[in-house]
Amino acid sequence: MSMSPLILASASSARREMLARAGVPFESHPVRVDEDAIRDSLVAEGANPRSIADTLAEFKARRAADRNPDRLILASDQILALKQDIFSKPATRSDAAGHLTQLSGKTHHLYSAAVIFEDAKPVWRHVGVARMTMHALTTPEIEAYLDATWPSVSDCVGAYRAEGEGVRLFSRIDGDWYSVLGLPLLEVLSYLRLRGDLTP
């Protein structure tokens, strides 16, 4: 890059790894927002999952931009929706089992939003979508999976990590793989290239 490194407003190890492997110089500056309160408010207002993901990403970017108004800020958020039902991260193993039971045998969507701020204003945004079709799982299968993965998947919406053992839960995944991981990376890189901050 020909400027100060991008600020990633996230503590996500997956997002950090994606940017690092793509050769994007960045600094990780995690921010705190009350995601549950914002999500619940938007759901109550009838917002769709795509809009919720986008709004949460913008809240995070704005918080980081307030602290670093002269820097380029990237923030992202991911929403899991089964039709109009929005899932959150499982607080307990019992929650995780319940989420997997609900998702079993069905197709849900992951919406991964990215928002970029420059000069403390939003200048670019994108929402990537992936369709995730899960095998019909028995209760013993769910319990065996959680025996192997809990509590490491407690920070994963849907109680799975598709880049790990969680991929075995799925019969089909359609859409951008990077969006499955939590960041529409190709679109982010294309924007940075258009700005002249990245070369092929």
Tokens 């990633």 locate to: 8
**Can you list the alpha helix ranges (DSSP code H) found in the chain?**
13-21, 35-44, 49-67, 93-103, 139-149, 177-181, 185-195
SS3 164: coil
Q: Which residue of the set 36, 77, 176, 197 is catalytic?
A: 77
CA distance linking residue 26 with residue 44, whole number of Å: 36
Q: What is the chain's length?
A: 200
Instruction: State which H helix or E strand residue 29 sits in.
Output: none
**Distance of alpha carbon 191 from the chain centroid:** 19
| Known active-site residue 77 | yes
What count of Cα atoms within 13 Å lies in the side-chain half-sphere of residue 104? Answer: 16
Cβ 142 vs Cβ 97: under 8 Å: yes
List active site positions: 77
